Amino acid sequence: MTRWKPLLFVLFSGYAAVLAWHAFERIGVVSLEARARLIEEHRLWELQPGFRGKPENWTRLAARLLNDRQLMTRITAKYGPAGEQIELDYRRDVAIAQAEVVVTAVFVFVLPLSIPYGIILLTRRRPPPATAAPPRPSSLDDPRYKPPPEKD
């Protein structure tokens, strides 16, 4: 089994790297969708002076170019003090969505590893439990209860 450990380590490391890459990409997509949803909900294209295009175009472009802090600056400019609660709600929603991606990636990593390990544990032969010798009564071992030794 020891000669298989390095191979298994390399195999599982590669598997973890692929899952981490996909999770990283998915977190980027989730963040982009959240920014686009924030722009659409609060109609932030109305704050852009001189914008004459379609709101969908501005939303798509702004979701990619503007970061969260820049969007929150625009939210604060539009709503004033109420922008703080909007920011808290937005950050909470983004954190929950990103956590779902991470938990899913961890689950996808652990599940294939745990199934064979569980099968090995279930099928492994266990030695039968050692049975304790029945207790001997003290009358058998106590010299007071033994017959006297014979004299020749």
Q: How confident is the model at residue 1 (pLDDT cuts 50, 70, 90)?
A: low
pTM, to two decimals:
0.71
- Separation between Cα atoms, residue 77 and residue 129, nearest integer Å: 73
List, for residues 9-51, the tens digit of each pLDDT value.
Answer: 888 899 999 999 999 999 999 999 999 999 999 999 888 888 8
Is 143 inside a domain boundary?
no
* Domain range enclosing 44: 5-124
More confident residue, 127 or 25: 25
- Tokens at residue 131, please? 């049975």
pLDDT at 88: 95
Is 133 inside a domain boundary?
no
pLDDT at 66: 93
Is 47 inside a domain boundary?
yes
Q: Would you say residue 152 has pLDDT above 70? A: no
- Separation between Cα atoms, residue 38 and residue 32, nearest integer Å: 10
pLDDT at 72: 94
Is 140 inside a domain boundary?
no
From the number of C-beta atoms within 10 Å of its C-beta (0-12, 13-18, 19+), residue 44 rates as buried
Average pLDDT over residues 54-63: 90
- Separation between Cα atoms, residue 94 and residue 50, nearest integer Å: 30
Is 45 inside a domain boundary?
yes
More confident residue, 141 or 8: 8
Is 10 inside a domain boundary?
yes
Q: Would you say residue 136 has pLDDT above 80? A: no
pLDDT at 123: 81
Provide the mean pLDDT of the chain: 88
Is 114 inside a domain boundary?
yes
- Separation between Cα atoms, residue 41 and residue 78, nearest integer Å: 13
Greatest alpha-carbon pair distance for the chain in Å reads 129
List, for residues 98-124, the tens digit of each pLDDT value.
Answer: 999 999 999 999 998 888 778 877 887
Q: Are 27 and 101 in contact (CB under 8 A)?
A: yes
More confident residue, 149 or 93: 93
Is 54 inside a domain boundary?
yes
Number of residues in the chain? 152
Count of domains forming the chain: 1
